[in-house]
């Protein structure tokens, strides 16, 4: 049976547009597939830091060595997050835009699990090869200022290209996206919101 992990990057709870759209997706998904969904709230305090010890462990592994001491502890903590992630074959990411990009906690998650031998393999001549094959992802992206067709003063999109690039780098190429980008200058964003939820509902049914 397929298992889905919802990875949420918004700290805004019931006020979050990305979480609301993800909720519509998940309701439709459960109607078809049953209750086989887990939720990883990246703000729940369980995500480990990946600082000097983690970076040292990564470079030790690159050098063909086994991390030890604090580095080994950091490597084990990162591995636990990766093992949880890798145990699923379907992913839903709900991601608000922060400063034209993604929330730092999602970047932290990506940096924690993106390790040699887990997410990728590296060859000095051929470069990177993603290792997460046979998986699929849906990505809900929202923003309240940036939007397609708006002038550069309203921001640039470093959100979708980064996430799409990272997923493909890991080997996940079956990717679907939903975007909701209301214009703050327009009082009524209801039509766009309804369209995003309708798209999420249909994607959730067939995902």
The domain that holds 53 is classified in CATH as 3.40.50.360
Nearest partner of 60 among 116, 113, 3, judged by Cα: 116
CA 132 to CA 173: how far, in whole Å?
Answer: 9
Q: Report how many domains make up the chain.
A: 1
147 pLDDT more than 80: yes
1 pLDDT more than 90: no
CA 159 to CA 91: how far, in whole Å?
Answer: 17
Which residues does the annotation place in the binding site for FMN? 10, 16-18
Mean pLDDT of the chain: 94
At 202, which helix (H) or strand (E)? helix 190-206
Domain hosting residue 88, numbered range: 3-206
At 37, which helix (H) or strand (E)? strand 37-41
The pLDDT, as a whole number, for residue 158 is 97
3 state DSSP class of 17: helix
Q: Which residue has the tokens 């010890």?
A: 53
- Residue-wise pLDDT tens digits, 67-101: 999 999 999 999 999 999 999 999 999 999 999 99
What's the pTM? 0.94
Question: Mind giving me the DSSP string for 64-118?
Answer: T----THHHHHHHHHHHHHHHHHT-SEEEEEEE-BTTB--HHHHHHHHHH--BTT
CA 152 to CA 146: how far, in whole Å?
Answer: 9
Which residues does the annotation place in the binding site? 10, 16-18
Q: What is the mean pLDDT of residues 173-190?
A: 86
CB 14 within 8 A of CB 21: no
18, 20, 68, 93, 178 from 97: Cα distances, Å: 10, 15, 38, 12, 13
CA 202 to CA 113: how far, in whole Å?
Answer: 30
């Amino acid at each position: 049976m397929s298992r889905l992990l919802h990875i949420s990057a918004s700290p805004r709870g019931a006020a979050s547009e990305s979480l609301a759209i993800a909720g519509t997706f998940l309701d439709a998904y459960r109607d078809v597939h049953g209750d086989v969904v887990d939720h990883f709230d990246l703000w729940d305090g369980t995500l480990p830091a990946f600082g000097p010890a983690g970076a040292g462990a990564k470079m030790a592994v690159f050098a063909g060595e086994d991390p030890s001491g604090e580095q080994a502890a950091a490597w084990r903590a990162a591995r636990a997050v990766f093992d949880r992630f890798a145990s699923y074959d379907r992913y839903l990411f709900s991601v608000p835009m922060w400063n034209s990009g993604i929330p730092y906690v999602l970047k932290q998650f990506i940096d924690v699990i993106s390790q040699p031998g887990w997410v990728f393999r590296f060859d000095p001549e051929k470069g990177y090869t993603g290792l997460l094959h046979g998986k699929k992802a849906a990505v809900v992206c929202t923003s309240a200022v940036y939007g397609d067709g708006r002038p550069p003063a309203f921001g640039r999109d470093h959100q979708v290209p980064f996430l799409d690039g990272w997923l493909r780098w890991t080997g996940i190429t079956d990717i679907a996206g939903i975007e909701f980008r209301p214009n703050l200058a327009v009082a009524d964003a209801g039509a766009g919101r309804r369209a995003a939820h309708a798209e999420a509902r249909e994607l959730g049914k067939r995902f």
